[in-house]
Structure 1
Amino acid sequence: MSDAPALFLDGNSTRVRCLIFNAALGPLDYRVPAGMTVEPGSVVIAPLGPRQIIGVVWDADRLPATEVPEGRLRPLLKVLPVPPLPAPLRRLIEWTADYYLAPLAAVARMALSSNAALQGGSTVTEYRLTGKEPGRLTPQRLIALDLLQDQQATIRELSEIAGVSDAVLRGMVNAGLLEPVVVDSDRPYPAADPHFAAPDLSEQQAEVAARFVASVRAREFHPFLLDGVTGSGKTETYFEGVAAALEAGRQVLVLLPEIALTETFLKRFEARFGVPPVTWHSSLKSSERRRAWRSVSSGAAQVVVGARSALFLPFADLGLIVVDEAHEISFKQDDGVRYNARDVAVMRAHFEKIPVILASATPALESLQMAEAGRYERVVLPARFGGATMPHIQVVDLRVEQPERGHWIAPPLVRALKDRLEKGEQSLLFLNRRGYAPLTLCRTCGYRFQCPNCSAWLVEHRLSRRLACHHCGHEVPPPDACPECHEPDCLVACGPGVERIADEVAEILPHARVALVTSDTLTSPAKAAEFVEMASNKAIDVIVGTQLVTKGYHFPELTLVGVIDADMGLEGGDLRAAERTYQQVAQVAGRAGRGEKPGEVLIQTRHPEAPVIEALASGDRDAFYEAEAEARRDAGAPPFGRWAAIIVSSEDEAEARDAARGIGGSAPRLDDVLILGPAPAPLSLLRGRYRYRLLINARRSTELQRVIREWLDPLRFPPGVRVAVDIDPYSFV
């Protein structure tokens, strides 16, 4: 509940200010009718013209005043049956909108992320298989029977799972193959037990865990940077902080960067606390989102594990926030409200007055700098748990050890793969490029397949027989002949993707069991869990994967990691390229040798003298970060300076260009601000919109948001032009 007084009505009119979920409107004032009670944070239905719209009653003194006379105010229609958004969450919404230059209502909408949850308690009818012996079955019913084992959901959700129509399933209900089950939408989740399976911690782990427990019990804001090498048991230590929060009857939020990591984490959580936590991510069914949201807002959900959007859930009594793999760039949202969940998590902990733990084996330079400045407390786990050792790292110079023509795996890595297969051990090959090949062209005329909606090549996906754009999702089947010169059978794949590497492994090791792990193959938590089970049971010999395999997985028999192209991340205009490459390769290297057997990592590169490659080979992380920090300091780049981007787009190229030039022409002239551009974005056409960018570099002390507001607010653009501001950008395409 809010800490602000409720506004009661006893026959007199009361004026309240509401955030209305309409992108074109700011806050509006309404009248509270007789008999209705509202307070700041109350979720209401308000009239807007002839329509009814959801809004949130806000603290009137924190929003701009309106000038509508009292007599013209329209009454609120209804208070929705959910707890008001708590004051700490309202302050977080205000801070996020202010810092990231986003509309306040757009941020507030993220807290009300389940419309069904706002309608109050109810029951829902779900369906499950009866186990009745079927008679003659149509092919579609056979498919449904196979795919719906152990499933219980609504007809619509079951039809999506089985890939059949609602009519097929309703026919199965009439035939007695499916039965209805009435379920309470708000049924409680099983309770986690903080004492269920207390771990046997090492001395170092116990010291770190004790710091977390003490901070949770103190109920004060305290940011921690948990800096531990891969395999050091970071999860076990922060689980003790989770246990302390559970003992105190308070809620916990754990943020993960990838849905694919969720199932692995859930098993570890259940082993420690006896039950799985509540999950929150985009793959949830609508009924699951509704139940989770209402459970969080009532305080019944003890621990929530979710993607970045879980950060804005309306927790009733939050006691601890954990951001796992806190360096991951997927915590930064690149559309809509362009926030960084890592940084917003720290601010939520600040407003809630609770500890927050940022856990990583390769922390972001910004986080390390905050620790050095004394803003975060850095706690270190320098050794692997249980006596396991860090893997031996070897650099393979591709200029000397060249792969066979048309191949991508160099001879030393081929020999290592064969050796591991003979020993019955597992190997992992990493290449952060989905599909079979990044470019397909005609060997006769040189025609290249390009996306019609984006300035990007179409990527060949041989397994699914499609050419796909990884930016907008456009897909076409590979043609039999060149569209330009009409020559048949002339298309050639250029460069490797993971599918091509998997084919090469099958050629080198014809008897090996190969698993391909990308966002194309692990499309749900269930598929991720299936992969983990197969790898853990040694049903896989070689894993070939993208960045999905660089974090979170623990396979004791995996002793070899091969990085196919360590130079790929250093290409292009990414200003954090070296740091990202270091983090990615160090994380994937950390998958090797996590059990009793020693691990080995082979890094293929054409630039062994590059500082980031030398740092990986020597294991000297501190030297790399010091050099990177010095380079950033000289360039005025984060964390020593500020960056922001202004992205201008339109379906009309001339309109986008003119708008960008108009912004550039009105740019402020300030000593502590450097403005670059406008220029066409590296990805100058995206989803059918032409894009121009301006990059702003400012000193740390600059009030950057104020500068940008005063610059852009007076400007007006044609209806087809969009102007987006990205504070602390991570993407430069």
Structure 2
Amino acid sequence: MFADVIVDVDAPGLSHAFTYRVPNELLDAAVPGACVAVPFAGRELVGYILKTFTEAPDLKKIKDISSVIEDACALTPELINLAAWVSGHYAAPLSHSVRAIIPEAMSAIVCQVVHLTAPANVSQASPAQIKLVRVLEEMGGRADQGILKARCGIDKFAVTLRQLKNRGAVNITRTLEMPKVRPLTVQGLQITDPDDIPDADLSRAPKQAAILKELAKSGGAVRRSDLLAKTGSSSSPARTLVEKGLAEMVQIRVRRKPFKDRPVEAYKEFTLTRNQEDALAVIREGLESGAPQTTLLWGVTGSGKTEVYLRSIAHVLSAGGCAISLCPEISLTAHLMDAYRARFGESVAILHSKLSAGERYDEWRRIESGDARVVLGPRSAIFAPVRNLKLVIVDEEHEPSYKQDHSPRYNARLAAEERARAEGASVVLGSATPSLETFYRASQKEIRLAVLDSRVDDRPMPRVQVVDLREEWAQGRKNIFSRELHTAIEDRLSKGEQTILFVNRRGYSSFLLCRTCGYTPRCENCDVSLSYHAITRTLCCHHCNESHPAPDTCPSCGGPHIRRFGTGTERVEEEVQKLFPDASVIRMDSDTTSRKGSHARLLDQFREGRANILVGTQMVAKGLDFPNVTLVGVISADTALNLPDFRAAERTFQLLTQVSGRAGRGTIPGDVIVQTFSPENFAICAAAKQDYMEFYNQEIANRRELFYPPFSRLINVISADPVGEYARDRLAAFAKSVREKASGPLKMLGPSPAPITRLKGLYRWHLLIKDDESFTLREIIRDVYEGMPPQSRTGLIIDVDPISML
């Protein structure tokens, strides 16, 4: 028997499978989806079997599969098909698609180990080479290459290591490392033979008798610690029972629960509104049609979309099916998990990157075995090993976070529709502000439409007031808070109501600026200004993580007038505490939520009323339900509006509408105050009126005129290189080859410098290709890419259906 294996190796352009022979001793284990070790280019690597067959291929030499790694995670046939689609649609190596599916801790990996061989050979070495050798000596002369790189902290680590290898000072070996995580077991006790218990005389051993009674009542094995706690016994009586042969020690598998400390609330049955009933009927009709259906659930904020999701899932479960529910942010999973667990109990599993390796392993296995039939998580949850999938929900389907920013650059919304199509499932795309592409499809009857146009209990939409900051500045008020917002915050504090302040930046201030010479500190590796963080008094680049102490004087002119400019979350938090000293404030951004569980902890504190004001970035703008929030303040609506991206207006409208929807979700009506320097902009005007159709009609006309999605498909090709001319010339040659292969004229913009022209020390050029049918174009681009010399492919990124143009 033979097998096609996708080998997990990073090699540009290597996207096809390789054929291996299956030895007789592996015939039973070498099935499609199995993780295997194979010889490849003189070394042992990990791979996954895509398919097996018996007819001998026409190849001169076929190598044998070395082994099947049974402890590693296997791919289901459905996930193999999905990986192939992701690879084809996004022009990505198939190995990258497989890697996106398998949790890192559940896959076998090949480790590169650096060995020190001859330290004497570095007597004439460079400082970097000497430092690497010194660190390697401190680590015992042998170290994992990744750990060594982190410990050394030197530039051009790979070049330095190669130089040392050429000098004979080090050598590098590769070892196959098995999956790091295993099932967790604890010691337990169970009755050896129930028939022996009646004959046991334990009248003089009450503790032993109590333990046996508890074991008999349980009907199986009991954790030793739980058993001793329940009976008030020490270890000695349990040990004696084992010695007497009345009980035996066993290992009990224990599940690592992601939310073990969060109590499960009782499910509250709601009476659906007429809108909800109608929307649910549309979704159920699709589920019962027998063919894959996609439905856009377009509902204003606070209209009860989550309840429609839960009822739809319940309908699927009652028919024996399973469901995946995607949410855009990890910060939303705890809030949603409470609602899902209240409704479906232990049938719910959660998958996201903030879980520990053990928690992710146990959740994956529960899904794989069918113990968990509902999966909740961000974009990667679309790869959950669900069997009999019947429904996929994509909440806040418009969110950019559904698009991965590294290879494979897949969009989970599109992947959800493809997986559902292949497995005969239905998809529900939910949003108050659908992406233009999705709403256009609904308007063209390509997908179904269900509408929730009013809030639950007929609660009013929040009142929105737009404050023109130009007038504030003209009157000499240059504070963070306009008079209107300042007064509104005071009013809410006096009433014991809560406020959310939305800031589209983290940090203390966007950047430092010298008022004398205009100097702004910029990252040496990236073409961006450095962000100022007040708590640590540091300047940080949020692209490459470079960090420096903030200067007290201008490094350019030496003047003392270098001051913060712009408004970040730290700055707003400080200003709130200064103006409202009695207020309790919570700041929520990526800096305060980096630790595991911090999202849920901060949101719980705010929900419980332990803070009056929540200051946050985009993570507070969507999906959260705080009944006591009656005021939302948008510090500046202009941040996203001025980005060099054709989606800038759409993102601004979506953000403002979504964050406005956090106000007035309880019994008290809400207010929203939007501060802006562009009050006349059509996106801000439409958001203030919460009028999606007004925004859609103008923006769709702009898109049609400029041939942007949904009227075209985009492919953004980026070339990055330490030398700007090389990046430009490589992309120009690529564009020339694509034009020559295309059957008709193509709309190409560029090559031109990318909006962020330098990132992590690399100059960036980009080429934007527009086409009305991108499958053929993707094939051409893949052919051109794979036909390039390996050194030319390095630094070239192909982004199909890009979300960000930066």
TM-score, normalised to structure 2, is: 0.77
Q: Which moved more, 1:104-113 or 1:193-202?
A: 193-202
Is the contact between residue 260 and residue 525 of structure 1 (CA under 8 Å) also seen in structure 2? Answer: no
Paired AA for residue 17 in structure 1: D
- Cα offsets for 1:182-202 (capped at 9, x unmatched): 762678999999996543322
| Cα distance, 1:107 vs structure 2 | 0.6
Q: Could you tell me which residue of structure 2 aligns to residue 160 of structure 1?
A: none
Q: Could you tell me which residue of structure 1 aligns to residue 776 of structure 2?
A: 703
633 and 668 in structure 1: CA distance in 2 versus 1, 3 angstrom threshold: same
Q: Could you tell me which residue of structure 1 aligns to residue 424 of structure 2?
A: 353
1:636 aligns with 2:626: no
Is the contact between residue 73 and residue 106 of structure 2 (CA under 8 Å) also seen in structure 1? Answer: no
Map 1:454-493 onto structure 2 (within 5 A): 454-486=526-558, 490-493=561-564
1:572 aligns with 2:643: yes
Paired AA for residue 451 in structure 1: C
- Cα offsets for 1:62-84 (capped at 9, x unmatched): xxx97523x64324422525785
Q: Could you tell me which residue of structure 2 aligns to residue 154 of structure 1?
A: none
CA distance in 1, matches of 2:803, 2:354: 25
CA distance in 1, matches of 2:687, 2:804: 24
Map 1:219-618 onto structure 2 (within 5 A): 220-275=291-346, 277-402=348-473, 404-486=476-558, 490-524=561-595, 526-618=597-689
Paired AA for residue 755 in structure 2: P
CA distance in 1, matches of 2:72, 2:547: 43
Paired AA for residue 357 in structure 1: V
CA distance in 1, matches of 2:47, 2:509: 48
Is the contact between residue 672 and residue 702 of structure 1 (CA under 8 Å) also seen in structure 2? Answer: no
207 and 501 in structure 1: CA distance in 2 versus 1, 3 angstrom threshold: same
* Bigger-Rg structure (1/2): 2
Q: Could you tell me which residue of structure 1 aligns to residue 694 of structure 2?
A: 623
Paired AA for residue 241 in structure 1: S
Is the contact between residue 295 and residue 450 of structure 2 (CA under 8 Å) also seen in structure 1? Answer: yes
Is the contact between residue 194 and residue 243 of structure 1 (CA under 8 Å) also seen in structure 2? Answer: no
Q: Could you tell me which residue of structure 2 aligns to residue 142 of structure 1?
A: none
What count of residue pairs does the alignment treat as equivalent?
A: 662
Is the contact between residue 321 and residue 349 of structure 1 (CA under 8 Å) also seen in structure 2? Answer: yes
Is the contact between residue 391 and residue 425 of structure 2 (CA under 8 Å) also seen in structure 1? Answer: yes
Q: Could you tell me which residue of structure 2 aligns to residue 163 of structure 1?
A: none
Paired AA for residue 762 in structure 2: R
Q: Which moved more, 1:363-372 or 1:86-95?
A: 86-95
Q: Could you tell me which residue of structure 1 aligns to residue 75 of structure 2?
A: 85
Is the contact between residue 738 and residue 781 of structure 2 (CA under 8 Å) also seen in structure 1? Answer: no
CA distance in 2, matches of 1:701, 1:336: 19
Is the contact between residue 401 and residue 412 of structure 1 (CA under 8 Å) also seen in structure 2? Answer: no
666 and 48 in structure 1: CA distance in 2 versus 1, 3 angstrom threshold: closer
- Over the residues paired in the alignment, what is the CA RMSD in angstroms? 2.9
Q: Which moved more, 1:215-224 or 1:497-506?
A: 215-224
Q: Could you tell me which residue of structure 1 aligns to residue 20 of structure 2?
A: 30
325 and 437 in structure 1: CA distance in 2 versus 1, 3 angstrom threshold: same
1:680 aligns with 2:753: yes
| Cα distance, 1:47 vs structure 2 | 2.6
One of 99, 106, 127 as aligned partner of 2:96: 106
Is the contact between residue 681 and residue 691 of structure 1 (CA under 8 Å) also seen in structure 2? Answer: yes
Map 1:173-192 onto structure 2 (within 5 A): 184=253
Q: Secondary structure at the match of 1:731?
A: coil
CA distance in 2, matches of 1:196, 1:660: 57
Is the contact between residue 100 and residue 408 of structure 2 (CA under 8 Å) also seen in structure 1? Answer: no
Q: Secondary structure at the match of 1:534?
A: helix
| Cα distance, 1:384 vs structure 2 | 0.6
Give identity over the alignment, percent: 37
| Cα distance, 1:481 vs structure 2 | 4.0
- Cα offsets for 1:581-637 (capped at 9, x unmatched): 100000000001111111111112222221112212333211210111111111111
Q: Could you tell me which residue of structure 2 aligns to residue 716 of structure 1?
A: 789
| Cα distance, 1:691 vs structure 2 | 1.1
Q: Could you tell me which residue of structure 1 aligns to residue 739 of structure 2?
A: 668
CA distance in 2, matches of 1:416, 1:700: 51
CA distance in 1, matches of 2:271, 2:3: 55
Paired AA for residue 253 in structure 2: D
190 and 219 in structure 1: CA distance in 2 versus 1, 3 angstrom threshold: farther
664 and 502 in structure 1: CA distance in 2 versus 1, 3 angstrom threshold: same
- Cα offsets for 1:431-465 (capped at 9, x unmatched): 20111111113345443211121111110011233
126 and 596 in structure 1: CA distance in 2 versus 1, 3 angstrom threshold: same
| Cα distance, 1:100 vs structure 2 | 0.5
Which runs of no fewer than 5 residues in structure 2 stay unpaired? 109-177, 188-249
1:74 aligns with 2:67: no
Q: Secondary structure at the match of 1:350?
A: helix
Paired AA for residue 361 in structure 2: R
| Cα distance, 1:719 vs structure 2 | 6.2
Paired AA for residue 473 in structure 1: N
Paired AA for residue 356 in structure 1: V
CA distance in 2, matches of 1:391, 1:188: 38
One of 19, 32, 53 as aligned partner of 1:40: 32
Q: Secondary structure at the match of 2:64?
A: coil
| Cα distance, 1:430 vs structure 2 | 1.3
672 and 631 in structure 1: CA distance in 2 versus 1, 3 angstrom threshold: farther
CA distance in 1, matches of 2:42, 2:731: 37
TM-score, normalised to structure 1, is: 0.84
Q: Which moved more, 1:117-126 or 1:474-483?
A: 117-126
Q: Secondary structure at the match of 1:378?
A: strand
Q: Could you tell me which residue of structure 2 aligns to residue 4 of structure 1?
A: none
Q: Which moved more, 1:541-550 or 1:191-200?
A: 191-200
